[in-house]
Amino acid sequence: MLLFNLFNLKQKKMRKLIYVTLIAWVTFSIQSCSGPNGSKAGANSVNDTKADVAKNDSTIVAVDKDDAKFAVAAANGGMGEVEMGKLAQEKAVNAKVKDYGAMMVNDHSKVNDELKALAKSKGITLPGVLDKDEQNAKDKLSAKSGTDFDKAYVKSMVDDHKADIKDFEKAAKNLKDPDLKAFALKTLPILNKHLETIEKIHNGMK
């Protein structure tokens, strides 16, 4: 009888020990999953990680103020060339002038699109409409017709491209951003071709 009682007592102690051990294990598991501050802390850790990844994935690259200024001026001038070219296609009486206008629209639209993509990657905001000077030049040209329009347009293109080439040569030499510098270098041959073509047209009209 004494042995039986001892056996029952031993069984009760074992069950109690197992029960306490089980509770301790469950508590430890919950804390491990929740993090040091519970489940909310664990969620915050995930969010912080996502934020860090998003930050590291950013493709925006800040550029020098003068570099950004060049990009804005180039975009405005490029839009002006396209708008003037459209006018030449509509109003010019000289076939060569009409063809030149078409070339301006085609070439400068491509250059403008390339600059837009480049500016976006640099965080540069380009103008969406012509500035005051370009708009005034377009308005004055729009008021002309016939051979007067042709002469005014041709003279404008000669003057514009001479100025543009100087600006792009300076940019290719002095810009700090390598991508914008490469853009200037790549565009220079196009501008030189435009100037050479319009000078021939200009000389042929004399």
**Number of compact structural domains in the chain:** 2
Q: What is the pTM of this model?
A: 0.70
Same domain, 49 and 139: no
Q: Are 78 and 118 in contact (CB under 8 A)?
A: no
Same domain, 114 and 191: yes
The per-residue pLDDT for range 62-111, each reduced to its tens digit, is 788 999 999 999 999 999 999 999 999 999 999 999 999 999 999 999 99
Tokens of 94: 């000289």
Tokens of 179: 């991508």
Instruction: State the Cα–Cα distance between residues 37 and 34, nearest whole angstrom.
Output: 7
Nearest partner of 107 among 115, 96, 119, judged by Cα:
115
Instruction: State the Cα–Cα distance between residues 182 and 32, nearest whole angstrom.
Output: 54
Q: Residue 76 is part of a domain; what is its CATH number?
A: 1.20.1260.10
Mean pLDDT score of the chain: 81
Enclosing domain of residue 22: 2-56
**Which of 29-43, 50-64, 121-135 shows the lowest mean pLDDT across its residues?**
29-43
Better-scored residue on pLDDT, 196 or 44: 196
Would you state the torsion angle of the CA atoms of residues 74, 78, 84, 87, taken in this order, to the nearest 10 degrees?
-160
Same domain, 84 and 161: yes
